[in-house]
Structure 1
Amino acid sequence: MKRKAFASLVASVVAAATVTMPTASFAAGLGNSSGLTDGLSAPRASISPTDKVDLKSAQETDETGVDKYIRGLKYDPSGVLAVKGESIENVPVTKDQLKDGTYTVFKHERKSFNNLRSDISAFDANNAHVYPGALVLANKDLAKGSPTSIGIARAPQTVSVDLPGLVDGKNKVVINNPTKSSVTQGLNGLLDGWIQRNSKYPDHAAKISYDETMVTSKRQLEAKLGLGFEKVSAKLNVDFDAIHKRERQVAIASFKQIYYTASVDTPTSPHSVFGPNVTAQDLKDRGVNNKNPLGYISSVSYGRQIFVKLETTSTSNDVQAAFSGLFKAKFGNLSTEFKAKYADILNKTRATVYAVGGSARGGVEVATGNIDALKKIIKEESTYSTKVPAVPVSYAVNFLKDNQLAAVRSSGDYIEITATTYKSGEITFRHGGGYVAKFRLKWDEISYDPQGKEIRTPKTWSGNWAARTLGFRETIQLPANARNIHVEAGEATGLAWDPWWTVINKKNLPLVPHREIVLKGTTLNPWVEDNVKS
């Protein structure tokens, strides 16, 4: 019986039964047949059958109230889960660094992101609030991967799994009072039943996906891999300061191995997920309002999640290509050509793996080592079995109001740092022709002022335009910030009407490790070789 309904009804009955107390003479005249005793007792008040408390009506009133309250909430489905990040107005200027024979230019560019994700990553696999059917507040905490569930009386709930071979209702179970523990117990029963019943599925392959990015900043990392990723960054010990200084180049990949997905049936109405006595006020008391509408976790994907950090001291501009090739191959067999091309980078690279889920035999939570030593962590346990425990990897949330899928929108700005490294080079002039020759070399040296403006300082070789004879050879060292290289050479013909011929005149040559300019031929038939060596 509902206490509130009963109290209200009793109050109305008492009010209706109030009478004026009779005088003694009037009472005596009535006699005992009136129901009064000693002239002082009040008449008995009776409750008609129509005034009795209708338990069914009271329950229906509560259900109607819950539906009315939930459906009456006013919120923007995309706005309530929107997380607006930092807005950047001032972009750092371009900077440079000339050190140990290398020249690095750091360019800063403002990037904006506006991501919409309906698949929320479960970076904290042990979160007690994440299970199929959990009622959660759809707010910014949910958007950041830290949902808040509400404790309240629940109606029975059907949970199902998508493992193959479960037919005739064997893929689902009814949970009478859904909680984290009861739902987990129910799921374990379904999984045990599948394993016992379906020996023909010993190698149920996981659904594997991955995402990768080079790391430039915390904000950029969250924009790429999702809000709440700072928890993983801490596990992987990402040194953002070293990245900013170009002391390290770092890439991170997220590998997801989904073994199965558990889902709940779509509610027919908001009140259908609650116990019969839950009222709208109960929901208000638990913080459900326009800013915190109620949602339910409609599905949870279980499996194993692996985060890999590749870190190198190499300053090569090919690091991103090398790391991307490793990730795409999932650390499998690499071609001989790939290994040869990126050998220097790979030899200077260490990998750190943070694994969530899987067996104890499959590896520790965090492991660091060379690439070959960590291949097996990525490759093994790609099939589901009793020996490979699964944990929540991601989940989907729907609004209870209308069962609309809740999508997390994150937006903001971040600074993307592009660091381009150049190495020093050299040019060798060699004279192997039968004539008098002259060489000239000019270039610009690039730098940036405190305002980030490029400065070009013209430079020339001290031996420019001196007469050179057969056998001359000289190598000129060029700094890593040399640009717009101009090479010119000619020969004296001995002809009064045409005393000078240009043999080579090349401008804007790129800086390479080694270039050799060789003059050959005779006075009337000069020619040149331009040899570039890596």
Structure 2
Amino acid sequence: MATSLGVAVFVHTSYRDERIDGFVRSSQKISVQPEAEIDLPSSDMGLSNNEKSVAPVVSRRLSKTAESFAVFQPNADVLYPGALVRTSSLVSGTLQPVGNIGRAPSEVTITNITLLEKENQTGGDAKAAVYSSRIDNPDASSVNEAVRSMVKRVVPGTTAAKLSYQLLKTNSLEEGFTRLGISAGWLGGEVKSSLGKQVREEKSSFIIKFSQEYYTASFATPARPSDVFSRRVTSGDLEQTRGDSLGYISSVTYGRVLYVVVSSSVHEDQMRTTLDLALKQVASKQELQFSHAQREMLGSSEIRILALGGNSDQAMKVISGDLTKVRDFLESGAQFSANSPGVPISYTARYLSDNELAKVSFTTNYVVETGKARAPVTAVVRLVALDVYLDGSPGKDKWSTWVTINGKRYKVWNRKKDISDNGNITDPKGPGGDGNASRYSLENEYEVSLSPGEPLKVEFHGVAHDNDDAVDPSSRLFLPSDYWGIGQSTDTINNYPCHRMGAANGHQTEYYIWFNIRKKE
């Protein structure tokens, strides 16, 4: 109530505003469940870590709640500060706009950035005099243009990205993202394809999120729901949204994000130590330095990377899976600039009814092994003998052989040798069953450290040369074995239970290697 010249004047809220406010406030908000992690009633006994033994596993359910939403499939027509959305679409991550309804003027404000007073100013006494922009009819085009106009006045070299990272152990891709506060339903097929549809259970896997935030654009909070609509809008225009609560995009943060998924046969503790070291060096802008063992560990790991935002050339380099490129990528975007443009990486939404932050709950199920963790083992691979068969004229021949054990190459023998059809052994397993071969005893022995569940893979290679030392491509043999379980064997040579590996290529010298595998005590 106000008084003027002794006369009481009552000011009433318009009927139109009351109808709109009542309609918006009558809708139900999204139901939010408490965060929890529980074991599901049923458990199972099954194969674990690709071994032929049974290990206990249990299914679990992880529930999380988010009030800031990651962006994977930005819809430029909907994702901007002030956009009106159906809050039910927050659950799926694909925002659904409210129909074409007139809007009242409002403001968009930029934070976490330093702007010049004028667009053509070049420096000197630059200061952040203007952070907000008034928009007469807020829509995707006008709001995005207002944001672009403001960030064009960034003071060079003054807007450092806010860098943060998270490292989490995960049993599946969905579990990892859920722990990051990201629903697996938001990812989309392209994201899952980039990072791998699933994390293989026999490996220890981690997910890392690097975030570089440049600036945030926010929409002015309305005093009441009707304030966001033009005076021509009535409650009847909102009937299309009945049954769904209305919300608005409160803020959008722009920057760059890297998601890294690392899967390895290495023991979880060893891999976490190595990744922790890498992350600390990346965060402090140091050169990545690892021990020989750590370099081998990373070299044998499967690394998948998804880059969102920034220069496309830089992104192409980083998705190669090389962690050193991650450091280069983050350093190149340490400052916001035209060469390092940001994209929407997250946003918040509020209910139009009372400006409360909108929250969404989501769950995922995953399987985890509950058995006791196994310690690393050392396998000893001993090369016992090499059989050389000749399918052709006898005489001197130069030949080279080597083995590769879990990716590391070892020379067996490189020499010239007189090879004849009259071999020194008879072996019915030889080519054609004639058994003629020359056998050479070997004493090469190699130790290989294996993480729990890591298979032992032995490959045998042989190359025969002609008398003029030219390599005959038809004599190249690449003979990978499958997983050789410790203790298994096919024959005994020189008192060693041995595996035999080799192949006949049809018309050239043929090689067969005998090797023994045992567990180092």
Tell me the TM-score normalised to structure 2 length.
0.60
Q: Which amino acid aligns with 1:190?
A: M
Q: CA deviation at 1:144?
A: 3.3
Paired residue for 2:133? 173
* 1:143 equivalent in alignment to 2:91: yes
User: Contact (CA 8 Å) 1:115, 1:410: kept in 2 or not?
Assistant: yes
Query: 8 Å contact 1:161–1:262 — kept in the other structure?
Result: yes
Residue 67 of structure 1 aligns with an amino acid whose one-letter code is: D
The one-letter code sitting in structure 1 at the alignment partner of 2:141 is S
Structure 1 segment 121-270 matched on structure 2, within 5 A: 121-139=70-88, 141-151=89-99, 152-162=101-111, 163-164=113-114, 170-192=130-152, 194-195=153-154, 198=155, 201-225=156-180, 226-227=182-183, 228-231=185-188, 233-240=191-198, 243-244=200-201, 246=202, 248-270=203-225
Alignment partner, residue 415 of structure 1? 367
User: Is residue 112–residue 414 contact of structure 1 (8 Å, CA) maintained in 2?
Assistant: yes
- Which blocks of at least 5 consecutive residues in structure 2 are unaligned? 1-11, 117-126, 381-449, 453-519
In structure 1, distance between residues paired with 2:379 and 2:211: 48
- Describe the SS at the equivalent of 1:402: coil
- CA deviation profile, 1:327-376 (whole Å, cap 9, x unmatched): 3433854676x524524312312433221111234232972243334431
Report the CA distance between 1:79 and its aligned residue: 1.0
* Partner amino acid, structure 2, of 1:70: V
* Cα distance in 2 for residues equivalent to 1:134 and 1:98: 50
Q: Tell which has more relative contact order, 1 or 2 (C-alpha 8 A, sep 6+).
A: 1
Q: 2:348 aligns with which of 373, 388, 396?
A: 396
Alpha-carbon displacement from aligned partner over 1:365-418 (angstroms, at most 9, x marks no partner): 972243334431233212101222111111111111111111222346433346
Q: Are the counterparts in 2 of residues 85 and 412 from structure 1 also a CA contact under 8 Å?
A: no
How big is the shift at 1:171? 1.0
8 Å CA contact 1:125, 1:356 repeated in 2: no
Q: Say whether the 8 Å CA contact 1:62–1:279 is kept in structure 2.
A: yes
1:169–1:371: structure 2 CA closer, same or farther, 3 Å change rule? closer
The CA deviation string for residues 254-296 of structure 1, in whole angstroms up to 9 with x for no partner, is 11111000011110110110111212221121x243xx20111
Query: Deviation of residue 95 (structure 1)?
Result: 4.0
Residue identity in the other structure for 1:61: Y
CA distance, structure 2, for counterparts of residue 276 and residue 389 of structure 1: 38
**Alignment of 1:116 onto 2:65:** yes
Percent identity reads: 24
Letter in 1 for 2:21: D
d(CA) in 2 for partners of 1:83, 1:177? 39
Cα 1:134/1:335, change in 2 over 3 Å: closer
Unaligned runs of 5+ in 1: 1-56, 428-478, 482-532
Q: Distance in 2 between matches of 1:144 and 1:87?
A: 25
- The TM-score normalised by the length of structure 1 is 0.59
Taking the aligned partners of 2:312 and 2:451, their CA distance within structure 1 comes to: 50
Aligned Cα root-mean-square deviation (Å): 3.7
Deviations 1:408-459 (A, max 9, x none): 22346433346844455699xxxxxxxxxxxxxxxxxxxxxxxxxxxxxxxx
Per-residue deviation, residues 173-199 of structure 1 (Å, max 9, x unmatched): 11122111211111111112x23xx3x
* Maintained 8 Å contact 2:208/2:261: yes
**1:239-265 superposed Cα distances (whole Å, 9 cap, x missing partner):** 52x612x1x443221111110000111
Cα gap change, 1:306/1:262 in structure 2, threshold over 3 Å: closer, same or farther? Answer: same
What are the within-5 Å matches in structure 2 for residues 12-411 of structure 1?
60-73=14-27, 75=28, 77=29, 79=31, 88-93=40-45, 95-96=47-48, 106-139=55-88, 141-151=89-99, 152-162=101-111, 163-164=113-114, 170-192=130-152, 194-195=153-154, 198=155, 201-225=156-180, 226-227=182-183, 228-231=185-188, 233-240=191-198, 243-244=200-201, 246=202, 248-285=203-240, 287-289=241-243, 292-314=244-266, 318-330=270-282, 333=286, 338-340=290-292, 342-364=294-316, 367-411=319-363
Q: Secondary structure at the match of 2:64?
A: strand
Alignment-mate amino acid for residue 93 of structure 2: G
Q: Which amino acid aligns with 1:144?
A: S
CA distance in 2, matches of 1:390, 1:146: 20
Distance 1:78 1:68, change over 3 A: closer
Q: Which structure is higher in helix share?
A: 1
AA aligned to 2:22 is: K
Q: CA deviation at 1:213?
A: 2.2
SS in 2 for 1:277: coil
Q: Which moved more, 1:262-271 or 1:116-125?
A: 116-125
Return the letter of the residue paired with 2:299.
N
Structure 1 residues 96, 210: CA separation in 2 closer, same or farther (over 3 Å shift)?
A: closer
Q: Is the 8 A contact 2:65 2:361 kept in 1?
A: yes
**1:81–1:143 CA contact under 8 A, matched in 2:** no
Structure 2 vs 1, CA of residues 97 and 380 (structure 1 numbering), >3 Å: closer, same or farther? closer
C-alpha offsets along residues 496-527 of structure 1, whole Å, 9 cap, x if unaligned? xxxxxxxxxxxxxxxxxxxxxxxxxxxxxxxx
**How many pairs align?**
358
1:108–1:207 CA distance, 2 compared to 1 (3 A): same
Paired residue secondary structure (2:80): coil
